[in-house]
Structure 1
Amino acid sequence: MTNSEQRGYHGIDIGGTKIELVAFDAAFAEVHRERIATPTADFEAFVQAIVTLVSRGDAALGLAAPVGIGLPGIIDIATGRQISSNVPALNGRQVADSLQQALGRPVAIGNDCQCFALSEAQGGAADGLPTMFGAIIGTGAGGGYCVDGRLQRGLNAVAGEWGHWTVPAPLLALHGLPVYDCPCGKQGCLERYVAGPGMSRLHAHFGGDGAEPAAIVARANVGDALAERTLAVHLDLLAHAVAGLVLSYDPHALVLGGGLSNLAHLYERLPEAVRRHLFRGVHVPPILPPRFGDAGGARGAALLARQLA
């Protein structure tokens, strides 16, 4: 065990509106937490904000601790530049290199979905299992895959990006749905149908007002036919996606994250819906709520720093 492993880690969760740093000791007990607004337009201001947060975290731990960051978007492995981020200041920038130079230490970077998965694989809902998949269903849809508690990243570090699988044309036709364009540049991505805004989009397509998911569920619970139809179609599309995850990764458990992970009907109805999309003899793994919820991003980032140290 190295000295850094004995003393602590910083985990930083970066979002479109806030940056949160949590400093953990060696046992991953929280020592310090701080949240600030994200500088979205000025890259130098963004870097300085991270430096300031880490400096305060170092003071709380009493050492210059390794840093892990959950960053939105992906990194082009050929150039090291950030793309598809919801923080405009980061796009086209070599974020990892810039932060490593500014902080004077290695920086481990994963996307927010991967950090969520790692947090739930180590001490979370899937703790101790040989494999798990963490599936975020919130503003977007993505995930991460862990084996023996370690995040598996792949050549492009995009393993688990199921939200950008394409919905099959026959399934769209079955439900009378159009092919939606996706900001990623593709068409018909699952994210456009099964993420939170996707459920609202389905509701509007069927003639509703495009209500928020929680409102759609509440209406369905009192017998609103349009809301019931929206939930049924959303469930079938999500079940198709989860069946694909089962066939691709065969995880021992699947942990849901993001805003839709708070919808109780998913845990009640999703397993059977997934089974209908699988061939005989393939079993649906447990589908679990997250243990850490919104706190998982920073914790997972710190765990990633330990994994890659």
Structure 2
Amino acid sequence: MIVCFDIGGTAIKGAVAYAPDDIRAFPRRPTPGDDFDAFVETLRAVIAESGGTPACVSISIAGVIDPDTHRAIVANIPCIHGRTLSADLAQALDLPVIVANDADCFAIAEASIGAGQGHRVVFGAIMGSGVGGGLVIDGRLINSDGGFAGEWGHGPVAATTAGHPPVAIPPIPCGCGLKGCIDATCSARGMEKLHSFLHGETLTSEEIISAWQDGDPMAARTIEILVDIIASPLALVINVTGATIVPVGGGLSNSPELLEAIDVAVKARILRRFDRPLVVPATCRVEPGLIGAALLGLRVSGETS
């Protein structure tokens, strides 16, 4: 038995996991963002609720563990940002602690029990308020010790012209400090900025997609350009990694039509030919971070028991 958590800036989701198909969630608790002692006590309360001593604690966070320093980079939870989080929590809880990025947890969930089952190389892509991803090869995360692999949303690679006919696209500033990242241009917020730039109209990403599906020509132009921008970087990721399936999560994945358009564009730009969908909706739609954390914890506890 292990206890797993999916921790975000506002809520801590906890569960006890006995097997991949036996994960029992507890009620959510608020995240103590500025008080590490309170943060630890919240985790300790969930562990106590499990009714036993877990083999380990496994945590999914909306952040990255620096592979060189082992320190957490978690901007929206100040009390754990900059800490050697796994070691600090292990000492505080007196239990082994695994910490992984939430996109990596999503990827391992999809590779293990989701759309990636049966594939050697799975690239799990997140397309929501941000663009991210995780890479799983032979059932194992590339980022097993932390790191930035899979972060295809960052880097100044967004096309400066896109669409048919082509239109010039400004390099949109990204929260990472660069300009022209896919995260800034093709996330849900990026779609909104792109639409505003093209048409001078402010709509949410949900409204843009709905208008596109209803045949609105301005929304259709926005989607066409977004697909043109995002397809080449994703095609490059697939060529480099050899991924044979790309499950997609995040808010934009709620539109099957959008994923189908991206799939068609990506398959036209990769070296390997597929006669089936490659970019597909994720099947772990509910709590993939929690499921991925559980799977990682169960695997480690099985290897070390």
Same fold per superposition (TM over 0.5)? yes
Decide whether the 8 Å contact of 1:214 with 1:263 is kept in 2.
no
Corresponding residue of 2:70: 80
Decide whether the 8 Å contact of 1:51 with 1:102 is kept in 2.
no
Corresponding residue of 2:141: 151
Q: 1:129 aligns with which of 119, 122, 146?
A: 119
* CA RMSD across the alignment: 2.2
Is 1:229 the counterpart of 2:221 in the alignment? yes
Per-residue CA distance 1:141-191 (angstroms, 9 max, x = gap): 111111222212177522111111322554469432111222222221110
Q: 1:187 aligns with which of 179, 198, 220?
A: 179
Is 1:44 the counterpart of 2:34 in the alignment? no
- Written as runs of structure 1 = structure 2, the 5 A alignment for 1:13-162 is 13-57=6-50, 59=51, 62-153=52-143, 157-162=147-152
Gaps of 5+ in 2: none
The letter for the 2-side match of 1:165 is G
Decide whether the 8 Å contact of 1:208 with 1:226 is kept in 2.
no
User: Normalising to structure 1: TM-score of the pair?
Assistant: 0.88
Distance 1:45 1:76, change over 3 A: same
Corresponding residue of 1:278: 270
Distance 1:51 1:154, change over 3 A: closer
SS in 2 for 1:12: strand
Q: 1:262 aligns with which of 236, 254, 264?
A: 254
- The alignment covers a number of residue pairs equal to 298
The letter for the 1-side match of 2:8 is G
Distance (Å, rounded) in 2 between the aligned partners of 1:42 and 1:303: 28
Decide whether the 8 Å contact of 1:254 with 1:285 is kept in 2.
no
- Greater shift, 193-202 or 209-218, is seen at 209-218
Deviation at 1:249, TM superposition (A): 1.0
Per-residue CA distance 1:4-29 (angstroms, 9 max, x = gap): xxxx2222111121110121113531
User: Normalising to structure 2: TM-score of the pair?
Assistant: 0.89
- Greater shift, 25-34 or 176-185, is seen at 25-34
Distance (Å, rounded) in 2 between the aligned partners of 1:221 and 1:111: 33
Deviation at 1:241, TM superposition (A): 2.4
SS in 2 for 1:23: strand
Distance 1:166 1:277, change over 3 A: farther
SS in 2 for 1:268: helix
Among the aligned pairs, what percent are the same residue?
Answer: 35
Q: 1:304 aligns with which of 285, 296, 299?
A: 296
SS in 1 for 2:3: strand
Decide whether the 8 Å contact of 1:172 with 1:178 is kept in 2.
no
The letter for the 2-side match of 1:257 is G
The letter for the 2-side match of 1:103 is L
- Greater shift, 84-93 or 286-295, is seen at 84-93
Distance (Å, rounded) in 1 between the aligned partners of 2:120 and 2:267: 22
Is 1:204 the counterpart of 2:187 in the alignment? no
SS in 2 for 1:90: coil
Distance (Å, rounded) in 1 between the aligned partners of 2:16 and 2:246: 27
Decide whether the 8 Å contact of 2:7 with 2:59 is kept in 1.
yes
The letter for the 1-side match of 2:231 is A
Distance (Å, rounded) in 2 between the aligned partners of 1:147 and 1:55: 35
Per-residue CA distance 1:236-265 (angstroms, 9 max, x = gap): 122122202211111121100111111121
Distance 1:268 1:29, change over 3 A: same
Decide whether the 8 Å contact of 2:186 with 2:230 is kept in 1.
yes
Distance (Å, rounded) in 2 between the aligned partners of 1:155 and 1:111: 10
